[in-house]
């Protein structure tokens, strides 16, 4: 792996500078803090930084960046560290810029249905806050109980509700960002439509902290739907389940979530989470979890009837309906716990494949074929309504040699197939550190060259989140 | 005005080259063709190109661009020429690349609710085609009967339905573009979620033909709502009407269009369009046109009741309801004809101001104040639900001196006020030629420098749509 960039090492003068602009509790060099910032939720990867800084406001971020820019110190921004592609890993050491103390709601504008927040607020806290005013911030990554809104935007996160409401990028009106050289800039305006120059806002969203540090976010909100119901539908084959997904949309229905779980994923989860329970009939080889929302029981009933009618032709073995909060939560808990269960109990790699949704059955079949060829087990689940399938590849009995050298070949085959279906590498987890060497499959050399040019434009010396998104170059 | 770029002039060898790659009917140098390509719908501006080329497929576009790149000939892409900011004006002459012959639907994918089209298809034709399959492409600029989808994307067009369904940018999954040097590239993938590198798709959308030529568009479609109703609501003051707009959304309602027209706009339109009629009570100083859509009469009734309940507290003088196709069309015709009526019967300037929607009354008041100070009449209307107000400034009796030298000061004052309200210069018309020298009001020097850097990255020699978006630089 080539490292073409070289950085300075942190010295005591740097630490003195940081202690001048930040109080001691915001400048961390102790072992525990460094070790905590060395990892995110990605596989078992770990890279120790030299220091962790916790700015409290934009001006502090600007001062830190200005210093690091002049000193040529690598800076890795960090939200809650729940990322699944290694975006927050400080792979070149240096400074971790942790946004945990920038967690304020700056302005909840009920007149305009907007909210301005700092990046370090936990997504679910933000959601609960606006819900008290009858407002709704729909994007709901599984990590929303701990992930930060800033990290959600950096990775262009989605979640189950994306199928009806769009992903986090669709709610951003404007960003305040600090550029690598310390300049503070706004990308847009607090408006619902904007045709004023290039879309810097959407360029920043999903850039995985490689172009600038997000320090304020102006979000659009929508009215909160009054109620939702959840249907759980078992299928005799994963393929039938995936086909049904496409048919639901084709029939003009628009559920607020449409999640796919293969049997193995549920079994795996129940094995390691004895506190959870889930109805899993013997014949069920896959399950769909289908949520509908709206403002009246009538509306929900109409949608459920429409969906049931479509599903009937795919012979589900049964359809359960959850309408109480506790019943719904019990089902969602299992869905959300799958990734965690896999993570807790095996070394694994997660692929965030996304294809046009009608191609899901083909994608799933390919995953299983590759598993047979390369000898790996996989647990597949995800946002079927969006064509977004999370493929968890379990290390199991694979030799170190196979895991390190053979498996990447299988992943390349998988991504090449995804690409041939019209899909791409990541739907909502980003490229980060672990997928970057597959980027040549998804993007042409021209597109990659333009992206590198954009990176260079924003970050000429490459100090910001180095080692991410772009494939290693040959030396 | 500084022209820092110099280009070569078209010569007979260039024409010979174009005649080698295109049939004679696609290479136009006759006076009528050049004059037709010299204008769009922006004010009374006109710039004669040297040649108009009409490619039929991507490879032809690539060959043309490659030639122009090597010859340093300016190229201005052109859709249907309905733009309102001068984006299609060939201000440096040279080549107009007219997309009118690239008007094919390439693939209507009913399984995935997607459609791939060439850029030259008329937006309304595309909409009508997908509607025959029960599908919906919502964005509906007033020009949709003649504008091309490619131009809609280049300018990030909206339309009345944006308030519920978003603007054209929200439906683009992937683009094929030809870069200024002739390279063909795709920006994304045919997927609903994409976290794979920087968002080149959204960078291209709204870039007004300055970064690349869009040659194929992969659009997302949604199920077509079964029905809609239209309400027409007169108010005793424009301010009351604007306040009502904000209250409707605050109450959790989501109309599929929410249009504002001040009385003068309607009077002006009816004066010049004797074929149109419109109920206009004496006390009505402003009107709201409110559309609701859905899949059952019950659903529509619920929404209309909710809206009526909110409006009651703003004392509308009456509420008309249009449910038949002909009644609805009669009302929409007047709304859509306002811009055209202004254009046909006076020299005018149109500002596409956009603010957070609750600020609309303040914006409207400012327009009228400025009119008094600078002596101009104005006709205001637009997409109030989005906070997007089209301000038509009528030349009327203003002297040439006042029109040329004083009015820009009024516009600067207006935009500065818009900015102070959290708004920006353009919601859906783009910056193009006529708004570029106001860009310093909306964007910081840093943001503008980054945008110029992006332009340089995609178009190093500046041959593509030169003279647009960026303010003239001091020499």
pLDDT tens per residue across span B258-286:
999 999 889 989 988 889 888 899 999 99
| Distance, CA of A220 to CA of A135 (rounded, Å) | 10
CA nearest neighbour of B90 among B53, B37, B138: B37
Interface probe with B: pick from A191, A220, A297, most Cβ of B within 10 Å: A191
Domain A105-223 annotated CATH 3.30.465.10:
yes
pLDDT band at B2 (very low <50, low <70, confident <90, very high): very low
Residue to mutate among B169, B180, B198, with most A CBs inside 10 A, is: B198
Q: In what order do the strands lie in the sheet with B213-220?
A: B105-109, B114-117, B213-220, B172-178, B184-186
Residue B145 pLDDT > 90: yes
Interface contact A216, partner B, CB < 8 A: no
* B197 Cβ under 8 Å from any chain A Cβ: yes
Average pLDDT, chain A: 95
Q: Look up the CATH number of domain A346-427.
A: 3.30.70.2740
Q: Are A202 and A211 in contact (CB under 8 A)?
A: no
Asked whether the predicted pLDDT for residue A333 surpasses 80, the reply is: yes
Instruction: State in Å, rounded, how far the first CA of chain A is from the last one.
Output: 9
Three-state SS string over B50-104 comes to CEEECCCCHHHHHHHHHHHHHHCCCEEEECCCCCCCCCCCCCCCCEEEECCCCCC
CA distance A49 to B122: 55
Report how far residue B370's alpha carbon sits from residue B414's, in angstroms, rounded to the nearest whole number.
8
> Strand, coil or helix: what is B227?
strand
Within 233-292 of A, beta carbons closer than 8 Å to B belong to 246, 249-254
Q: Which residues pair with B135 in a beta bridge?
A: B223
d(CA B463, CA B456): 10
Stretch B6-22: mean pLDDT, rounded? 97
CA separation for the pair A54, A79 (Å, rounded): 11
Q: Does B193 lie at the interface with A, CB-CB under 8 angstroms?
A: yes
Neighbours of A467 (CB within 10 A): 22
**With contacts defined as CB-CB under 8 Å, which chain B residues touch A165?**
none
Where in A162-313 does DSSP place strands (E)?
A: 172-178, 184-186, 213-220, 222-223, 227-235, 257-262, 286-294
Nearest CA in chain A to B181: A446
Distance from chain centroid for Cα A64: 27
DSSP B323: -
Separation CA B245–CA A192 (nearest Å): 14
If 0-12 CB within 10 Å is exposed, 13-18 middle and 19+ buried, where does residue B240 land?
middle
Lowest mean pLDDT among A393-407, B12-26, B65-79, B446-460: A393-407
Range B432-470 burial, b when 16+ CB lie within 10 A, else e: bbbbbbbbebbbeeebbebbbebbebbbebbbbbbbbbb
- DSSP secondary structure code for residue A249 in this structure: H
Residue B125 has pLDDT above 60, yes or no: yes
Q: What mean pLDDT is predicted for residues A372-383? A: 94
When pLDDT is cut at 50, 70 and 90, the band that residue B1 belongs to is very low
CATH of the structural domain A226-340, one choice from 3.30.70.2190, 3.10.560.10, 3.40.50.300, 3.90.1150.10: 3.30.70.2190
User: Two tokens at B196?
Assistant: 């794979």
The distance of B205 to chain A (nearest Cα, Å) reads: 8
Q: Which residues of A touch B207 (CB under 8 A)?
A: 198
Structural element, H or E, at residue B353: strand B348-354
Q: Which residues of B touch A423 (CB under 8 A)?
A: 189-191
pLDDT at residue A1 tops 60: no
Tokens of A375: 């000898």
Span B172-188, mean pLDDT? Answer: 98
Q: Is B437 on the interface with A (CB under 8 A)?
A: no
Q: What's the pLDDT band for A2 if we cut at 50, 70, 90?
A: very low
The alpha-carbon gap from A231 to the nearest alpha carbon of chain B, in Å, equals: 21
Cα-to-chain-centroid distance, residue B24: 32
Q: What pLDDT is recorded for position B4?
A: 58
Whole-angstrom CA distances from B2 to B443, B446, B470, B472 are 21, 21, 12, 6
Q: What is the DSSP letter of B9?
A: P
Nearest C-alpha neighbor of B345 from the set B336, B353, B337:
B337
Mean pLDDT within A321-328: 93
Rounded-to-integer distance, Cα A367 and Cα A374, Å: 10
- What mean pLDDT do residues A342-351 have? 87
- Asked if the C-beta of B33 comes within 8 angstroms of chain A's C-beta atoms, the answer is no
pLDDT at residue number A109: 97
So what's the pLDDT on residue B239? 87
In the prediction, which pLDDT does A69 show? 98
Q: Is B468 helix (H, G, I), strand (E, B) or coil?
A: coil
For A303-343, the DSSP string reads HHHHHHHHHHTT--S--EEE-SHHHHHHHHHHHHHHHHHHH
Q: Give residue limits of the domains in chain B.
A: 105-223, 226-340, 346-427
Q: Is the pLDDT of residue B474 over 70?
A: no
User: What's the pLDDT at B244?
Assistant: 93
Q: Is the pLDDT of residue B70 over 80?
A: yes
Residue B3 pLDDT > 70 = no
* Across A298-327, average pLDDT: 91
Give the closest residue to A31 by CA, choosing from A13, A54, A10, A49. Answer: A49
ipTM of the shown complex: 0.96
Q: Are strands A114-117 and A286-294 parallel, antiparallel or unpaired?
A: unpaired
What does the pLDDT look like over A38-83, one tens digit per residue?
999 998 899 999 999 999 999 999 999 999 999 999 999 999 999 9
* C-alpha–C-alpha distance, residues A362 and B334, integer Å: 50
- Give the residue-averaged pLDDT of B57-74: 98
pLDDT at A61: 98
Residue B475: what pLDDT? 43
Please tell me if the domain spanning A105-223 has the same topology as the one spanning A346-427: no
Chain B residues whose CB is inside 8 A of the A170 CB are: 166, 170
Question: What mean pLDDT is predicted for residues A425-449?
Answer: 98
* Separation CA A171–CA A220 (nearest Å): 5
Across B118-247, the runs of DSSP E, i.e. the strands, are 135-136, 172-178, 184-186, 213-220, 222-223, 227-235
3-state helix, strand, coil split of chain A in percent (to 5) is: 40, 20, 40
Q: Is A116 left (phi over 0), alpha (psi -120 to 50) or beta?
A: beta
Q: Do B249 and A223 touch (CB under 8 A)?
A: yes
The reply to whether B439 touches chain A by the CB within 8 Å rule is yes
């Amino acid at each position: 792996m080539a490292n073409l960039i070289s950085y300075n090492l942190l010295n005591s003068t740097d630490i003195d500078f940081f202690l001048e602009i930040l109080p001691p509790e915001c400048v961390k060099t102790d072992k525990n803090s460094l070790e905590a910032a060395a990892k995110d939720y990605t596989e078992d990867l770990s890279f120790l930084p030299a220091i962790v800084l916790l700015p409290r406001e934009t001006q502090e971020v600007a001062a830190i960046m200005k210093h690091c820019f002049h000193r040529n110190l690598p800076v890795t921004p960090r939200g809650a560290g729940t990322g699944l592609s290694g975006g927050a890993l400080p792979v070149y050491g240096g400074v971790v810029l942790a946004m945990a103390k920038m967690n304020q709601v700056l302005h909840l504008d009920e007149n305009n249905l907007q909210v301005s927040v700092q990046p370090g607020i936990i997504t679910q806290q933000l959601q609960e806050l606006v819900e008290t005013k009858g407002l709704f911030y729909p994007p709901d990554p599984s990590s929303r109980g701990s992930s930060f809104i800033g990290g959600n935007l950096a990775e262009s996160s989605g979640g189950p509700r994306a199928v009806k409401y769009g992903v986090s990028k669709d709610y951003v009106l404007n960003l305040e960002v600090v550029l690598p050289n310390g300049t503070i800039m706004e990308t847009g305006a607090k408006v619902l439509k904007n045709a004023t120059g290039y879309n810097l806002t959407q360029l920043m969203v999903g850039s995985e902290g490689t172009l600038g540090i997000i320090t304020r976010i102006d979000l659009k909100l929508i009215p909160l739907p009054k109620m939702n119901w959840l249907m759980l539908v078992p299928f005799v084959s994963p393929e039938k389940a995936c086909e049904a997904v496409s048919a639901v949309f084709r029939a003009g229905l628009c559920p607020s979530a449409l999640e796919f779980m293969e049997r193995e994923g549920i079994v795996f989860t129940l094995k390691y989470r004895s506190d959870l329970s889930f109805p899993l009939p013997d014949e069920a080889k896959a399950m769909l979890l289908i949520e509908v929302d709206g403002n009246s029981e009538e509306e929900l009933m109409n949608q459920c009837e429409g969906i049931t009618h479509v599903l009937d032709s795919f012979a589900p073995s049964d359809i359960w309906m959850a309408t109480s909060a506790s019943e719904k939560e019990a089902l969602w808990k299992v869905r959300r716990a799958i990734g965690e269960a896999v993570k807790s109990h095996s070394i694994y790699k997660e692929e965030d494949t996304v294809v046009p949704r009608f191609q899901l059955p083909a994608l799933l079949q390919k995953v299983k074929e590759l598993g047979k060829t390369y000898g790996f087990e996989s647990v597949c689940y995800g946002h079927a309504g969006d064509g977004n399938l999370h493929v968890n590849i379990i290390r199991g009995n694979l030799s170190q040699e196979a895991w390190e050298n053979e498996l990447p070949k299988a992943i390349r085959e998988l991504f090449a197939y995804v690409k041939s279906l019209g899909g791409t590498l990541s739907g909502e987890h980003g490229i980060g550190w672990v997928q970057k060497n597959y980027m040549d499959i998804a993007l042409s050399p021209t597109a990659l060259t333009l992206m590198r040019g954009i990176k260079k434009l924003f970050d000429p010396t490459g100090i910001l989140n180095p080692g991410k998104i772009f494939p290693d170059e040959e030396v």
